[in-house]
Amino acid sequence: MRLRQLRGLLRRLKELSAMTLPARELLLKLGEARERYRTAWRLMDFQLPEQATAQERKAPARFSYRIDCTKLRMARRREGRYLLRANMPEAKPSDLWNFFIQLTEVEAAFKTLKDDLDLRPIYHQLDSRIEAHIFISFLAYCLHVTLRARLRPHAPGLTSRAVLDKFAAMQMLDVQFPTIDGRTLILSRYTQPETDQKILLEKLKLQLPDQPPPRISADHQLLPSTAGL
């Protein structure tokens, strides 16, 4: 993170150095760069234009900058270290680190269940219903993790929640047409995917099934499918 910010700040400072700007406008643009690259800004040493008269303010202003090696060296020494406190003195440091990573994964799982899957407390009275609720929630989380794993090699910039929101626009419905003999023709159809949805399906290597054949209903009783109608 620090290295990425430092590279971005140096690139922006190089662009500003090539511009011909008055002092006021130059300071405003430097302020924007400071807000964007706060972490890297602390590692730089600047020579900014001083206050000038009204006539001098309109003239092109210059500034100089360099990386403060002392601050950079201190930042490198202080970063990348974790202090884990545990009640298992005989455990290896690698095992403690694995336990810590597992803890973060568990916390991420609870966050996914509450936010992405939007699971809320449902109060059951029977043990069988409680177990069924837990089982369905676990299946939903497994599908969520599977989708995230499939997105990683094909579309790493997308999250499972973004894909689910995109596919939420695709719905399946039953279109009913009454016939002259009192029966009802039922057509089960799903919406055709749009361009971005087709790209997602192609990236995930998913293929929609064929549209189901029509059905005939008489007195609310479904008869066998009639594909030839």
Convert the pLDDT of each residue in 187-213 to its tens digit.
888 888 888 888 888 888 888 888 888
CA distance 222 to 174: 13
At 58 the pLDDT is: 62
Contacts of 164 (CB under 8 A, 6+ apart): 116, 147
**Extents of the domains making up the chain:** 2-78, 93-164, 170-222
Q: Helices 127-154 and 160-167: crossing angle, nearest 10°?
A: 100
At 80 the pLDDT is: 66
CA distance 121 to 130: 11
The pair of structure tokens assigned to 4 is: 């990425």
The list of the chain residues with pLDDT below 50 reads 52-55, 226-229
CA distance 57 to 48: 13
At 72 the pLDDT is: 85
DSSP 8-state secondary structure symbol assigned to residue 112: I
CB count in 10 Å sphere of residue 63: 16
Nearest residue to 75 via CA among 146, 1, 127, 134: 1
Nearest residue to 225 via CA among 187, 180, 176, 171: 187
At 228 the pLDDT is: 43
At 227 the pLDDT is: 45
CA distance 180 to 162: 46
pTM of the model: 0.43
